[in-house]
Chains A and B, each alone.
Chain A
Amino acid sequence: MKNQDASAESGAGKEEAGSLVIPAELKDTVTLTTIDKAVEFLSQTVLNTAVNWARSNSVWPLTFGTSCCAIEMMCVGMSAFDISRFGSEVFRATPRQADLIITAGTITRKMASALITLYEQLPEPKYVIAMGACTVTGGMFNDSYSVVQGVDRIIPVDVYLPGCPPRPEALLDALLKLQQKIRSESLTARRQRLYRQSPIRYVDYDSGRPVEDLVSDVHQEMNEIAEAVKFKADRS
């Protein structure tokens, strides 16, 4: 207990230095905000670089191959191309231990729900490489009744890797691009935009707008009405 108090005090001290106002009655408690703020302060300085360096060099992909592109993905794991040079040789058989989905292959409508489930089961931070023309735009299955026309319609994609199939070197390049991305981001910033990482974006068919936007519109409208009513009540 003593230790906790001490750390709380030091944490609070630091926050005051960082111009965070803490009410007097909370001075001797550790709240989640103070820890967050401390982590944020640290991450802005040293932590981010070190953590990102470690994270970017151990991106573990999920074993996920739905058609021909998967052959190239396997090839990249073998000794000729050797993805372990970049720390990604650990293909995991469960999404709960993986950081990355390489969507290697055509995603059909029947597979779409399974892919969404897999994406949701990945622990945050999670990344997606859309590998192959099929998953970038639908590719040669353009206008097909059964193929999802681009995997970014169901899950957010970090790196697009066109080609049919892409060469193993191209997949390595995509991985390096992803590593650059991981090194340049901050975990706290990522957490703040977490809501946007939700896998499926529902679309209103009449207006073609994302349902998220429509809902926020309605909220805004309700707020305006509430304010107008309050204004009236105040005046009367």
Chain B
Amino acid sequence: MTESDQAEKSSAGTAAPGQFGQLLSDNGIESNRLPDSCGVETIEVDRQQLENAVQRLRKSPEAVLDLLLAVSGVDSPESYDSVYHLWSTSKSGELVIKVRVAKSEVAPGELPEVPSLARIWSAANWHERESYDLVGIRYSGHPYLRRILNPWNWVGHPLRRDYKQPVDALNDKNPVSFR
């Protein structure tokens, strides 16, 4: 094990892969274990391998993570995260998958791209639209990636750290407002 590997492992927190991380690495899919979230195993998966990994987790008889509970987007200081909560209806297993796109990789004016899971779970359709709407993660391969909560002509993604509210007659942002 090289030094850089060690450094990466220690920064990732828990070194030993959990049940699902082990399953993935047995199938030749890399994953990185993160600190557990509320006692649930949490792994980070590269975005190129996301579809592969969830297909494997869904189909393999040891895991059967066949229910997608939620897709959420997070604007972390260093990256844009797309977070998937998977659950098994038959084996009561639970897993959190994070896909991180570093901010340095995203060109200014562009949105981070993550593959869409709408083909695998149709539940992902609206969740991904919401996370596109509010955090601005573009899900490539999504059948209808359009704003779902905000009006269609909305500018910007409101839950981003750098979001600036519009200045108009509907709020107090205008310093010379007559109200």
Contacts and interface: CB of A to CB of B under 8 A. Distances in A.
Interface of A: 109-110, 112, 138, 143, 145-146, 148-149, 153-154, 200-203, 205-210
Nearest to A205: B174
Which secondary structure characterizes the binding site on chain A?
loop
Interface in B126-167: 149-151, 158, 163, 165-167
Interface of B: 149-151, 158, 163, 165-172, 174-179
Nearest to A113: B151
Given A109-B151, A110-B150, A208-B177, A149 B163 contact: no
B175 to A, nearest CB: 8
Contacts of B176: 206-208
A156 to B, nearest CB: 13
A209 B149 CA distance: 31
Contacts of A112: 170
B178 to A, nearest CB: 5
Contacts of B151: 109-110
B163 A203 contact: no
Contacts of B172: 143, 149
The 7 A-B pairs at the shortest CB distance, nearest first, are namely A208-B176, A203-B169, A145-B158, A149-B171, A148-B170, A110-B151, A145-B165
Interface core residue of B151, B171, B176, B179 (most chain A CB under 10 Å):
B171
Given A145-B158, A145-B165, A202-B169, A208 B150 contact: no
| A109, A206, A209, A210: most-surrounded residue (chain B CB, <10 A) | A109
A236 B137 CA distance: 72
B106 to A, nearest CB: 22
Given A110-B150, A146-B150, A208 B174 contact: yes
A146 B178 contact: no
Given A109-B151, A110-B150, A110-B151, A149 B174 contact: no
Contacts of A110: 149-151
Nearest to B178: A208
B178 A153 contact: no
Nearest to B169: A203
Contacts of A143: 171-172
B151 to A, nearest CB: 5
A205 B178 contact: no
B169 A201 contact: yes
Nearest to B170: A148
A149 B166 CA distance: 13
Nearest to A207: B176
